[in-house]
Chains A and B, each alone.
Chain A
Amino acid sequence: MSVEASPGEGPSRFSQARAGVRGFFTLDRLRRSGILIPFVALFVLLTLTSEPFATKVNLLNILDQQSAILIIAAAGTLVLVAGGIDLSVGATYSLAAVVSAHYALETDPVVAMLLGVGAGLLVGLVNGFVSTVLRINSLIATLAMAFIVGGCASLITEGSLLVLFDVPEFGKLAGTEWIGVKTSIWIMAAAVVVIGLLLARTTAGRYMYAAGGNAEAARLAGVRVNGVRMLAFVLSGTAAGLAGVIDTSRVLSAQAGQADTALAFTVLAGIVVGGTSILGGDGAVWRTVVGVLFIALIGNGYVLLGLDPLYEQITMGAILLAAVGIDVWTRQRQP
């Protein structure tokens, strides 16, 4: 038998408020916004120890380098929140890169860019279809799709590096400066804000939380769980496509199959370090952004301070374990 709290009584209100203060440093709080604390600490530490760190050039450089990962991770957050996982983003990123590069050599650069993003959207559609309608676990489904998509990318390049130095217009997408900031960063910022608002403010976003939090309850409340998950996968694929095109524009070359898996896991690490639950139903895009940047700062710090990069990987692994651990432990404590 549950005891009902008596409402509106002075003492209970008071104790509730006190519990709120005491509960500020709880594990749950740590998971929800705790990522800010180590992020700020690391930022301050690097500012104090490394002169070149807190310069406009270095910080914009980090954002430029991370723009692709940030776009993919923002959309990937939606997939995780909706109760799925997308391991194919690395391969999709590669496919979009080589598709856009391939067509940039043949047709108009704008058409080539659209085709690249479209390839990503298509992969997202297939991922969504396989993991909802065909009910194949999304971990396995997208892992398999990663192989298929990666293979398709290799077919297009036939193993060679596609170089776009003869198509300099392609570089304008990411490399144009506006108010002193590159368009790669502007596009990333716009994509992240749109995806973030989608999750936080729209019915679709609300349904994603419901589908990931309790799929059966969501379905009985009239949520089209499959449709919502499909949307998340399509956005994830499209985002990976956009990211691939942006990076191709940044470096004016594209190659299939390089570091596909590493990218997928870097993205996932950023999302999880940010505090989005791998079990679904909880997370936020802004946290993912902080998580990805936190990992980027660690990499940047190792370079600037001249530390042995071997330890960077070990640090990364430990942080990831801690992030997942906090998620699982706090879940168990919930009623």
Chain B
Amino acid sequence: MAHLELQGVSKQFGGVRALDDVSLAVAGGTVHAIVGENGAGKSTLGRIVAGVLSADGGRVLLDGAPASFRSPRYALEHGVAAIAQEPSLVPELTVAENVYLGSEPRRLGFIRRRRLRRAYAELAKRAGFDLPGQARAATLRTAEQQKAEILRALSRDARIIVMDEPSAALSAPETAQLHEIIRTLAGHGTTILLISHFLREVLDLADTVTVLRDGKLVRTAPASEETEASLVEAMLGRPLTTTFPEKRPPDADAPLALSVRDLVAPGVADVSFDVREGEIVGIAGLVGAGRSELARAVFGANRMKAGETRLASGRAVGKSPRRSLDSGVAMIPESRKDQGLIFGRSVIENVTLAELAELSTLGVVRRRAERRSATGILDRCDVRGASYSAPVGALSGGNQQKVLFARMLLGEPRVLLADEPTRGVDVGAKRAIYELLVSLAESGMAIVLISSELEEIIGLAHRVLVMRAGRLVAELEGDAMTEAAILAAAFADRSAGGVAA
């Protein structure tokens, strides 16, 4: 009998089906890996098993008995523990206190400290971990914090451990250590559900691999029958559709618009690239690879530590958002809700915010001029759904995104950094945004397009740069720009180094 079984599990967020009728069985004492693209539903699946989310449909079986977990605590009582990518320890408590947090040995509400220390020592010995129980959690490195989380799981007699991207924040030696721990745990009969981006890691560790795509199960197969290539192919699946406007690459002698040299910033390590006028350069990579951080550094939203970004005019940018805007560099930020729009203010105010100084005399806003230029640009961007005087929050996601484009266009920039410009946008608005991007490029604007949707990158960009761990690891152009090549570069194991395209 399977240790853990999912039968027809579905989960919906708003209008998006994160998981759609997924069934799989995990044998006891095995490592079962879940792989898929960003947004394929891997983490959702892990969180349902761990009781963080509850499924909308289908059921989860433990040892053949239906188990619906209402909370992580309930899951833990049934022997299912989860280890998140970012460890969640209380920094001011010691390792031992963290491990027994919520299940401290106590009498009359007082914690029995000596017994707690003894219990911790026994547990660490049993797991074979060399981790001092009296150290404060804040002083631990990430790998050690993960060990503490694993100990916490073991202290509750967890028989199933869900690990979501456990190695994403680890260095190479730490990763090797973690792999050893996973093998030991499985050897002792613990079942591991491993969610990972790193295909080599998956093939190394897992007994069985399940591939998800768009929330649907593609297949479950023994790891010995899979290769990196076969997994990538299964993750991609969907054939390229032709919903994109025709590409018109810039002339071969189009002048440079933006050049970035040796850029070092938070999340970005030593990146250099050029963008020419009229060119759309796509930046691909996994979530956390440093794509948004790169755009933010070039725009001046994050501080640069080293390197330089220059415009064709020789003017340096990246000092502050205001200066970038003034020198003709605009950014559509990743999250329109958190970084883009002022939800409570009107559509017009949101559009003119960046160029208000141009629409005012001696600091007083010329309201008629403001309304006129905002209306013109909003009509051009085809924003619909509510009066332009209504709060921008009343618009649909696609129209909100168009408002951000309208704000950007008002400044007439020469360089546009568009970070996930179609995220959470319906199909019609997507197509409109694609057409807008292409027509802007044709008019000579240099565009840097960041997207997690490879289809979008390949459909729009003239050239693709692939990022991994803050670095540019591949540059692809023309026919070499395939989903398989991009994914291979984005997923390549860190130990492999080099470009795996």
Contact = CB atoms under 8 A, between A and B. Distances in A.
A207 B357 CA distance: 11
Given A223-B353, A281-B342, A281-B344, A206 B428 contact: no
A1 interface: yes
A310 interface: no
B343 A334 contact: yes
A7 B385 contact: yes
A217 B396 contact: no
B20 interface: no
B321 A219 contact: yes
A221 B332 CA distance: 10
A221 B331 CA distance: 9
A216 B335 CA distance: 11
A6 B385 CA distance: 7
Interface in B315-356: 321-322, 325-326, 331, 333, 338-345, 349, 353-354, 356
Interface stretch (A88-96, A197-205, A285-293): A197-205
Interface stretch (B22-30, B113-121, B272-280, B358-366): B358-366
Contacts of A218: 342, 353
A27 B428 CA distance: 34
Contact of B341 (A1, A2, A214, A222): A214
Interface string B288-305: 000000000001010000
A84 to B, nearest CB: 16
Interface string A306-333: 0000000000000000000000000000
A216 B399 contact: no
A209 B345 contact: yes
Contacts of B349: 206, 209-210
B500 interface: no
A202 B426 contact: no
Given A206-B365, A214-B342, A334-B343, A224 B356 contact: no
Contacts of A214: 338, 341-343
A221 B384 contact: no
Given A2-B398, A4-B398, A202-B360, A217 B301 contact: no
Given A202-B364, A217-B339, A223-B353, A2 B344 contact: no
B407 interface: yes
A202 B301 contact: no
Interface in A195-239: 201-204, 206-207, 209-210, 213-214, 216-224
A5 B321 contact: no
B429 interface: yes
Contact of A216 (B338, B385, B397): B338
B385 A5 contact: yes
A21 interface: no
Nearest to A210: B342
A180 interface: no
B339 A216 contact: yes
Interface residues of B, number: 46
Interface in B362-404: 363-365, 367, 384-386, 391, 393-394, 396-399
Contacts of B357: 203
Contacts of B333: 217, 220
Interface residues of A, number: 30
A210 B363 contact: no
Nearest to A334: B393
Given A209-B349, A213-B344, A5 B322 contact: no
B397 A219 contact: no
A199 to B, nearest CB: 11
A223 B355 CA distance: 10
Contacts of B429: 4
Given A203-B363, A220-B331, A335 B342 contact: no
Contacts of B301: 219-220
B239 interface: no
Contact of B353 (A204, A206, A224, A334): A206
A3 interface: yes
Contacts of A207: 356
B385 A4 contact: yes
Contacts of A216: 338-339
A222 B343 contact: no
Nearest to B333: A220
A38 B401 CA distance: 40
A204 B349 CA distance: 13
Given A4-B384, A213-B344, A220 B339 contact: yes
Interface string A180-206: 000000000000000000000111101
A201 B364 contact: yes
B15 A217 contact: no
Contact of A210 (B16, B299, B353, B393): B353
Nearest to B322: A222
Nearest to A280: B344
Contacts of B342: 209-210, 213-214, 217-218, 281
A247 interface: no
A209 B338 CA distance: 15
A52 to B, nearest CB: 42
Contacts of B344: 213, 281-282, 334
Nearest to B383: A7
Contacts of B393: 334-335
A312 to B, nearest CB: 34
Contacts of B356: 203, 206-207
A203 B365 contact: yes
Contact of A202 (B16, B321, B363): B363
A219 B326 CA distance: 14
A220 B340 contact: yes
Contacts of A204: 363
A7 B387 CA distance: 10
Given A213-B345, A220-B301, A2 B396 contact: yes
Interface of B: 14-16, 299, 301, 321-322, 325-326, 331, 333, 338-345, 349, 353-354, 356-357, 360, 363-365, 367, 384-386, 391, 393-394, 396-399, 407, 424-429
25 contacts: A1-B14, A2-B397, A4-B384, A4-B385, A4-B429, A6-B384, A201-B365, A202-B365, A203-B364, A206-B356, A209-B342, A209-B345, A210-B345, A213-B345, A217-B342, A218-B353, A220-B299, A222-B321, A222-B353, A223-B322, A281-B342, A281-B344, A334-B343, A335-B393, A335-B394
Closest 10 CB pairs of A and B: A2-B396, A213-B342, A1-B15, A222-B322, A221-B354, A5-B385, A222-B325, A7-B384, A221-B353, A2-B397
Interface of A: 1-7, 201-204, 206-207, 209-210, 213-214, 216-224, 281-282, 334-335
Given A203-B363, A220-B333, 10 more contacts: A1-B14, A2-B397, A2-B398, A5-B385, A204-B363, A213-B342, A214-B343, A216-B338, A220-B339, A281-B345
